[in-house]
Amino acid sequence: MDSLIRPRLNDFHGLPFTQDEVDFAIPFLDEDVPLYVDPFLLWKSPSLQDNSLHTALTNSFNHLGHIYLKGKEKEDSDYLIISSECQEVGLGTSKNKAGKQIGAKLSNEILSLYKNIPQVTKSGFTHFEEIQLFVDNISKDRISDITCNFIKSFLIDYTIEQCEKNSIPIDKVIINNVYDYKTNRFKDENVFLPINPVNKNPILLVPKRWLRYLPWISYDDYFGGYISKLVSQPNKFPDRVALLNYNRENYDVVQTYIKLKEKQSIDCKNDPLFKALPVLSINRKLNEIIALPSGNQNGNDKTYEDIICQMLATLFYPQLDFAKPQSRTDSGVLIRDLIFYNNRSYDFLKDIYDLFNCRQIVVELKNVKEVEREHINQLNRYLNQNFGSFGIIFTRNKPPKSIYKNTIDLWSGQRKCILILTDEDLKLMCTMFQGKQRIPIDVLKMKYIEFTRDLPS
């Protein structure tokens, strides 16, 4: 598994589903998914279950404030610190899946809001993510982690259900810091969950419908979209701390902002893990490619790579999930231009998985007038037991007969398959994408069939 680029849980177990086909965000094994749970999505959801979870979440957080007011400051602070990091969900921007809890000082700053803001003392928070507007160093990852920790019991049940549905292996593990609503305490539980083979830690799956890049209620939105329009003096808030102090002293202003965000909730939607380009954008990018001169003058090769990368990620979706552009080998010498996950979601993809052990598809991009033998050899060096024996070259023009014969000879000698696609093939893919009668990946299938027909019997 170490040989795969950006491996995911389903890749490790060889499970044939794509991100589009499942309800949860497929976790990476060696880094986080760059999204966050937004508790506002639970509040606005049409699902009674999600609404109930939001109520439980808010009540649990407000309970911390309640016992803080009763003088149990040390105990209360420890609970908030525990809730501030949830590694099992694997959300955020960490490159090693390791997070860090908040400290006692920050925990006490948050809890002191229950003492220092009369409205909060009396009624608590309706949306606990408001704390971003009063305390510094509280970011979207903290809001997400606190949410996940307080609803971890549900996430355990949800994960088990999704594992059974999608045949994901589970093992008996101890999961820490599960919040018990009856006792208002965190405890450890023995449960069956999927395991990360890299670090042996348990994994919790999270519904895609809860995920956003930025919380609906956030400091940046409050400052840029609300408070800056109300203030007549531009220099009233010279820095972030000044605005946070203002908010604590003028809670009614914050409440008005919260009510406004609730009224605008119809516009609050989850962010997809991948967003395909619209037809107009695809056509515009195709025209850019057609007009682009071949070669590397004026950075034309880099421009070609950037545009094709964006186009193929959309044209091959959802049959292929995009893994990564410009991926270096461990030696740092070879660079593979594009990598796609092959989850066998289509008959052609299943065929190349079975025939060529193709777990990930390597795509080389060559903005040259004519493909040369060295380009074939370069891609051939990538095709080994790690990636399988199937690869693709995208270039500008149809290859010379001698180069095409070279790919036939490569199959005859090493049983490797290299397909060469051109601007004309790209045009056909875009036509299919626009017409929606067939899927663009059928062009790959067609090229593969043509290739197999030319193989020696």
% of the chain surpassing 90 pLDDT: 74
H helices of 204-299, in order, are: 219-222, 228-230, 240-249, 251-263, 279-291
* 153-199 confidence digits (pLDDT tens): 999 999 999 999 999 999 999 999 999 999 999 999 999 999 999 88
Cα distance between residue 408 and residue 213, in whole Å? 46
Amino acid at 218: S
Q: Residue 22, CB half-sphere, CA atoms under 13 Å: how many?
A: 28
Query: Using 50, 70 and 90 to split pLDDT, how confident is the model at 242?
Result: confident
Give the mean model confidence (pLDDT) for residues 338-343: 90
* Residue whose C-alpha is closest to residue 258's, from 133, 409, 390, 106: 133
Residue 386 burial by Cβ neighbours in a 10 Å radius (0-12, 13-18, 19+): middle
Give the mean model confidence (pLDDT) for residues 29-46: 94
The token duo for 402 is: 């001698």
* 151 neighbors 261 (Cβ within 8 angstroms): no
Give the mean model confidence (pLDDT) for residues 292-297: 93
The pLDDT value recorded for residue 330 is 40
Single pTM value for the model: 0.86
The torsion angles phi and psi of 333, rounded to 5 degrees, stand at: -90, -50
Domains of the chain from N-terminus onward: 9-267 (no CATH), 279-453 (3.40.91.50)
The token duo for 221 is: 């939105």
